[in-house]
Structure 1
Amino acid sequence: MMETARPCTKDEFRVKNFLLDYDRPRDFVTFQHCGTTVAYLIWRLFWALFHVVCIILSGVYSWQWAGHDPQQQVKWFIYLTDWCYFVLTVSTLVDAACVIYIYFCRTDIRNDISNEMTWYLKANWVIFNIANSAAVVVTLLYWGLVYTGGSVTVIDVFTHGVNAVYVMVNLGVTSVPVRFYHFFHGVLFGITYVIFTVIYYAAGGTNHQDKSYVYPVLDWSDPGTTIAYAAASILIAMPLCHFLLYGIYALRRCTSRQQSASYPV
């Protein structure tokens, strides 16, 4: 039984929505407006493969920014861009794994009979939230703070552009929900990365140019300025990007023609 989509209400801001409870798990394995479970499975498999290929290529072609010294190329692992793209890739792989498992083993969820929010869907949701916010933030930070002109590689375009476009398109066509309060998932991810850069700096780590920082804006030899940049990125930029994505989700719900009468609030 379907009903006309409802706009977001104050119910979204209940304290319970900090948690991962959700009573329509089928929304994690279907499109919002149309399509079949098989089509959705193909969608997830395609993007999982796409991002796996892209992240492998970003490592293979690390010589484009690190030179031909393997000791510099391995510093791929210190950059926020690569952390974020790695999380995005993991998210698409977990998405695909959940859809495959539910398609073949949990027909009750696939047919919208069960309202059990399983542990793997909860884990998927957390990774999804982190990957989405991180993709948008890293794209904005790269072009706003890091890029200083010069040539742009194909890998740059994919890891600082296509990633954010994918997030918004995927969010616009799938039924996966976004909770307003789940912005803190991305904040915790950001805090984790900043802590990593502090430890890396304290241990004498350098970037691919042998500078004593990962990014100039995260130069811990000037802690005052660095803390200001880090705090603004984590406590302002990350939540704002999540709220943007929540707005896309809310708009999607408002325009949906396939809302169930039992849609959770």
Structure 2
Amino acid sequence: MDTSRPCTKDEYKVKNFLLDYHSPRDFVIFQHCGTTLPYLVWRVFWALYHLIWIILTGVYSWQWAGDDPEQQVKWFIFLTEWCFFVLTVSTLVDAACVIFINFCRVDIKNDITNEMTWYLKANWVIFNAANSAALVVTLAYWGLVYTGGSVTVVDVITHGINAVYVIVNVIVSSVPIRIYHFFHGVIFGVVYAVFTVIYYAAGGTNHQDKAYIYPVLDWNSPGLTLAYCVAVIFVAMPLCHFLIYGIYALRRCTCRKHTSQSYAV
């Protein structure tokens, strides 16, 4: 398990911008469990859960787009779907890594190597981006987009349960969080912002045939829209990552206390 100490001078070393880590086994176990099998079950469950729901978000797109298939297919333009998609990819890649390591990388499973493989590094980047994006889209939806009215099951799943999952997963897993890795989420946000500009320039419309995806992303008013983008990408996204880092720091403090009590007994 991760025995590093967050909130120390070591955390702020430049090397922590990178994806090196001393114990890759922490990516395949629970925080307070030394065996990998329970974590494998956890990962497979959430991978299947998110895979099913990303499909259902398309199936139930008629709930907000109406009966016109040409409008229903526009589910892919929304930040909600981008964030839920990257969260789904994160859970699938995470599950694939855990399965592969359990059966093919016994050295990582048994914590006898410190090799951070390329697939664990890729998993870590997606994990960081997906976590920040999930919290941002939840806060942005309820704070900027939702104006009242009925709420569907898909709304709850993609703007509520997603954030709950992220927080719980950070609490129970041993996956480390690096404070400098906030830029993974920022890159994701920049990519989506660029997409909205390209979509607008190409004449794309939302499901109501408006010349924007969200009212707050109306590039007919570039100054205000750019301000929203900057606020979300360069302020909200890092803040959400720092919140996740805070949860991680509390998790580590609890773990150290638990370990110290165990030694005392």
Q: Could you tell me the TM-score, scaled by structure 2's length?
A: 0.95
> C-alpha separation between the residues in 2 aligned to 1:187 and 1:3?
26
1:256 partner SS: helix
1:199, distance to aligned residue in structure 2 (A): 0.4
The percent identity for this pair of structures is: 78
Which 4+ residue blocks in structure 1 deviate beyond 4 angstroms? 2-7, 257-260
Superposition pairs for residues 1-265 of structure 1, below 5 Å? 6-34=5-33, 36-257=35-256
Amino acid corresponding to residue 140 of structure 1 in structure 2: L
State the number of aligned residues.
259
Report if aligned partners of 2:2, 2:174 keep a CA contact under 8 Å in 1. no
1:178–1:5 distance in 2 versus 1, CA, 3 Å: closer
> C-alpha separation between the residues in 1 aligned to 2:179 and 2:5?
16
Report if aligned partners of 1:72, 1:208 keep a CA contact under 8 Å in 2. yes
1:33, distance to aligned residue in structure 2 (A): 1.2
> C-alpha separation between the residues in 2 aligned to 1:116 and 1:5?
17
What does the per-residue CA deviation read over 1:45-98, in whole Å, with 9 as the maximum and x for residues that have no partner? 000001111111111000000011110011011000000000000000000000
Report if aligned partners of 1:48, 1:89 keep a CA contact under 8 Å in 2. yes
> C-alpha separation between the residues in 2 aligned to 1:80 and 1:115?
37
1:34, distance to aligned residue in structure 2 (A): 2.1
Report if aligned partners of 1:41, 1:100 keep a CA contact under 8 Å in 2. yes
> C-alpha separation between the residues in 2 aligned to 1:90 and 1:250?
25
> C-alpha separation between the residues in 2 aligned to 1:156 and 1:9?
39
Q: Could you tell me the TM-score, scaled by structure 1's length?
A: 0.95
1:8, distance to aligned residue in structure 2 (A): 2.6
> C-alpha separation between the residues in 1 aligned to 2:240 and 2:247?
11
Report if aligned partners of 1:5, 1:254 keep a CA contact under 8 Å in 2. no
1:205–1:21 distance in 2 versus 1, CA, 3 Å: same
> C-alpha separation between the residues in 2 aligned to 1:35 and 1:9?
25
> C-alpha separation between the residues in 1 aligned to 2:96 and 2:54?
18
What does the per-residue CA deviation read over 1:155-180, in whole Å, with 9 as the maximum and x for residues that have no partner? 00000000000000000000001100
1:101 partner SS: helix
1:10, distance to aligned residue in structure 2 (A): 1.3
1:6, distance to aligned residue in structure 2 (A): 4.5
> C-alpha separation between the residues in 1 aligned to 2:50 and 2:230?
29
> C-alpha separation between the residues in 2 aligned to 1:259 and 1:156?
40
> C-alpha separation between the residues in 2 aligned to 1:220 and 1:78?
15
> C-alpha separation between the residues in 2 aligned to 1:75 and 1:12?
42
1:115 partner SS: coil
> C-alpha separation between the residues in 2 aligned to 1:123 and 1:10?
26
1:5, distance to aligned residue in structure 2 (A): 7.6
> C-alpha separation between the residues in 2 aligned to 1:192 and 1:151?
31
Report if aligned partners of 1:5, 1:255 keep a CA contact under 8 Å in 2. no
> C-alpha separation between the residues in 2 aligned to 1:7 and 1:195?
34
> C-alpha separation between the residues in 2 aligned to 1:212 and 1:135?
25
1:23, distance to aligned residue in structure 2 (A): 1.2
Listed as ranges, the gaps of 5+ residues in structure 1 are 261-265
Listed as ranges, the gaps of 5+ residues in structure 2 are 261-265
Query: 2:263 is matched with which residue?
Result: none
> C-alpha separation between the residues in 2 aligned to 1:151 and 1:73?
19
Query: 1:263 is matched with which residue?
Result: none
